[in-house]
Structure formats: C-alpha cells, structure tokens
C-alpha cells in the first residue's frame, strides 16, 4: 500500500531529530554550567560559583528533558494519526472488495 502524507512523515522525523538535539544540548549545558561554576573565585579565595551554577545546571537538564519528551511525543502523535489513517483506508478497501 502506498504511503500518503509525505510532508507529515517528514515533519515527524524533524521533530524526532530536534528532540534528540534538545536532550544533547541540555546535557551539554548541564556539564558546561557545572564546569564554569567551579572556575569562579570570590574575594575570599573560595569557590562559590558552583553554588550559583548548580540550580542553573539542574534547570538546563530538566528543560532539555522536558523539550525532548514534548517534541518526541508530538512526533509519535503525528505517526499514530498517520497509522490510523492507513489502517482505516486498508479496512475500507477490504470492505469494498467484499472480503
């Protein structure tokens, strides 16, 4: 059976790629925030930058994960609707044949 709606399948693929890119960016931002936070000294000569960068690091990881889940779910939702359409079309063709 011929696949229909090429553009929707392409959009779903783009959303999946963007989802994986978002999780990678979130992980990189998490690591960079922790590394850069440990490099700052306060006037007393102690490292306090990490205290301020830990919440930012955790937030960047959370946002990356949330965006990953949202975009991947959107892509899968598009594919589910396309599968429903294909199965409905196949069922209608079989009923029209009298099988």
Give domain status of residue 32, yes or no. yes
Q: What are 87-96's pLDDT values in tens digits?
A: 999 999 989 8
Structural domain boundaries, residue 16: 6-97
Q: What whole-number distance in Å separates Cα of residue 23 and Cα of residue 62?
A: 9
Condensed to tens digits (0 to 9), the pLDDT of residues 32-71 reads 888 876 665 555 555 566 677 788 889 999 999 999 999 9
Element (H, E) at 4: none
Asked if residue 44 belongs to a domain, the reply is yes
pLDDT category at 9 given cuts 50, 70, 90 is very high
Domain contains 20: yes
38 inside domain = yes
Domains in the chain, number: 1
Residue 42: its pLDDT value, please?
53
What per-residue confidence (pLDDT) applies to 38? 60
1 within some domain: no
> Is residue 80 very low, low, confident or very high in pLDDT (cuts 50, 70, 90)?
very high
């Amino acid at each position: 059976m011929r696949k229909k709606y090429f553009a929707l399948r392409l959009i779903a693929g783009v959303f999946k790629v963007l989802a994986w890119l978002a999780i990678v960016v979130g992980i990189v931002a998490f690591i960079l925030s922790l590394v850069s936070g440990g490099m700052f000294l306060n006037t007393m000569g102690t490292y306090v930058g990490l205290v301020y960068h830990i919440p930012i690091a955790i937030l960047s990881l959370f946002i990356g994960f949330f965006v990953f889940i949202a975009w991947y779910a959107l892509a899968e939702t598009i594919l589910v609707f396309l599968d429903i359409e294909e199965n409905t079309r196949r069922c209608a063709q079989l009923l029209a044949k009298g099988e």
